[in-house]
Amino acid sequence: MDTNVSTIVVLGAGQAGAWAARTLRQEGFKGRLVLIGDEAHPPYERPPLSKGILAGEAQAESLHILDSAALAELSVEWLGNTRAVEIDRRGSRVVLADGRVIPYEKLIICTGGRARALMVPGSDLPGVHLLRTIDDTVRLAPVLRPGARVAVIGGGWIGLEVAATARKLGAAVTVLETAQRLCERSVPEALSAYLLELHAAHGVEVRLGAAVTSFSSDDAGGLDVVLSDGQAIRSDVAVVGIGLIPNDELARTAGLECDGGVLVDAQCRTSDPHIFAAGDVAVARNSWAGRRLRLESWQNAQEQGIAAAKSALGQHLEYDPLPWFWSDQYGTNLQIYGIPMPAHQMVMRGNPAAGSFVCFYLEGDRLIAALGSNAARDLRFAKRLIERRTQVRGEDLANPEVALAKL
C-alpha cells in the first residue's frame, strides 16, 4: 500500500463512491478521506427505486450503503448536498459550487450518470417524471394510484420495472417504445420477446415503433402523450426511461480522456495517473465483451468502486468482471451473465411459457453468456462455466436431465 498518500477525495457519493470510501478504510488508509456528493441523502443503492421503494414496500433508509453513523465511524468527511464544479488538475484540487476547494493527492471519480430527458415540447410539465434518485421516486410513488393512467416512455429496464410496479399498484399502463422490440440495446431477441409476453400477460399495453413527439396537458388536469402519427395517449402521468447520460463533464473539462464516459484502464486509472474512475461514469475495456464499454449495473458500481480504491492505494489488480445484470418484474427474476451477441449460437433449457428458462450463448464449445428467468441456480452454474472457460456441448446445456453442476 502507498502509505505516503495523505488525502484521497472521492467525487460522487453513490454506490461506487461509497464502496470506494469504505474500501480505502478497510485497506488501511489513515489519511484524510473526503466524499463529495450533490444529493442530500447518504450514499444509497438505486435498484429498489423502481421496485420495492416505488411500490411502497420498503423505506428509503433501507437503501443506505453508509449512513451518517457509518460515515462518521470510518472518519469519512461526507460533504452531502455539495456540488463539485471543477477538477483543477494543475492545483490537484476539486472546486465546489460554494467556492470551497478540496485538495487531493488521489482522486476517484464516481459521478455516475443522470436520466436522459426526452427533448420534446411539454417534457417539463409536472406530470412528466424521470427516475434516478430517491427524490424522483418520492415524487412519482404517490401518483401511481389504482386506476391511474400511466404512460411509460421507453421499453428498457427502468421503464419495464416502473411498468411492472405500476401494474402491481393497480394503475393502467401503456409502454411506448420507439424500437421494434423491448430492451433492444441490451438483450437478444429471445429475451425481448419474453418480456413482451410477460408484460402483455400482466395487462400492460406495449406499443413498439411508437415515437413520442410532445406532451400537453388537457383541461381535466390530465396529460396527452402525443405520438409521431398524431395519436394522443390520455394519461395522468408519464415516466420517461430512455437511458443514462454519464456525468463526465468535469473530467472532460479537466482534459481527462473521455469517450462516452471517463476512460480507465484495468487498474481503474484515467489518463491522469493520480485520478481514478469507477461505476456508471467509467468506460473500460472488458475482455468478456471484447470491447470498451460502460457497465451500468449494481455489480460494477460496487466491484469497480472497490477496485479503484485498492488501485489508488497502489495495489496491483486487473479489473475485468464478467458482466452481470439482474431485474425483477412481477415476481420474475431475470439475470444476464456476459454479453450475448447475434453471432453466438443460442440453445435453450426450460420453457419460457412455464416462466423458467435459460438461454445459453456459445462460441464453438465455449459458453460466452447466459440469461434466464427464474433460474438463479442454473445461472450460477452457467457463470462458473463461462468464467472457467469449460468446454461444453450445446445439447447438454439444453437437456434439463443433464445437471449443470456435473459439467
Ligand X SMILES: Cc1cc2nc3c(=O)[nH]c(=O)nc-3n(C[C@H](O)[C@H](O)[C@H](O)COP(=O)(O)OP(=O)(O)OC[C@H]3O[C@@H](n4cnc5c(N)ncnc54)[C@H](O)[C@@H]3O)c2cc1C
Kindly list the residues in this chain that would bind ligand X in the complex (CB under 6 A): 12-17, 36-39, 46-47, 49-50, 83-84, 110-113, 131-132, 158, 247, 250, 279-280, 296-299, 301, 325-327
Q: Nearest distance from residue 392's CB to ligand X, in Å? A: 26
User: Among positive and negative, which fits the CA dihedral 117, 118, 119, 120?
Assistant: negative
Which CB sits closer to ligand X, 108 or 212? 108
- Kind and range of the H or E run holding 376: helix 376-387
Nearest distance in Å: CB 38, ligand X: 4
AA letter at 167: R
Residues 6+ apart with CB under 8 A from 282: 109, 261, 262, 264, 268, 294, 304
Q: Is the Cβ of residue 110 or residue 397 nearer to ligand X in the bound state?
A: 110
The grid coordinates listed for 108 are: 476517484
- Taking the least distance from each CB to ligand X, the nearer of 210 and 254 is 254
Q: Which three cell numbers stand for residue 91?
A: 492545483
Query: In this structure, what C-alpha cell is assigned to residue 120?
Result: 420534446
Shortest distance (Å) from residue 263 CB to ligand X: 15
Angle at 74 between CA 70 and CA 75, to 5 degrees: 115
Residue 62 burial (CB count, 10 A): 12
**Cβ contacts of residue 223 below 8 Å, gap of 6+?**
125, 127, 128, 151, 215, 216, 217, 234, 235, 236, 237, 238
Q: Which is nearer to ligand X, 104 or 224 (CB)?
A: 104
Q: Where do the DSSP E strands lie in 171-299?
A: 172-177, 205-208, 212-217, 223-227, 232-235, 237-240, 244-246, 262-264, 275-277, 282-286, 291-293
Using alpha carbons, list the distances in angstroms from residue 270 to 86, 90, 108, 267, 406. Answer: 16, 15, 9, 9, 42
Nearer to ligand X, 111 or 174 (CB): 111
Contact 159, 130 (CB under 8 A): no
CB of 30 to ligand X, least distance (A): 24
**The one-letter amino acid at 246:** P
Q: Are 376 and 383 in contact (CB under 8 A)?
A: no
The smaller minimum CB distance to ligand X, of residues 18 and 367, is found at 18
Nearer to ligand X, 131 or 204 (CB): 131
Helix (H, G, I), strand (E, B) or coil at 298: helix
265 touches 317 (CB < 8 A): no
Write down the least CB distance from residue 39 to ligand X, Å: 4
Of the pair 122, 155, the CB lying nearest ligand X is at 155
**Cα-Cα end-to-end distance for the chain:** 40
Nearest residue (CB) to ligand X, 92 versus 213:
92
Shortest reach from residue 123's CB to ligand X, in Å:
18
Residue whose CB is less far from ligand X, 161 or 224: 161
27 versus 328: smaller Cβ distance to ligand X: 328
Amino acid at 186: S
Which residue is nearest to ligand X, using beta carbons? Answer: 14
Shortest Å, Cβ 197 to ligand X:
20
The 3-state secondary structure of 18-76, one letter per residue: HHHHHHHHHCCCCCEEEEECCCCCCCECCHHHHCCCCCCCCCHHHHECCCHHHHHHCCC
Q: From the CB of 276, what's the least distance to ligand X, in Å?
A: 13
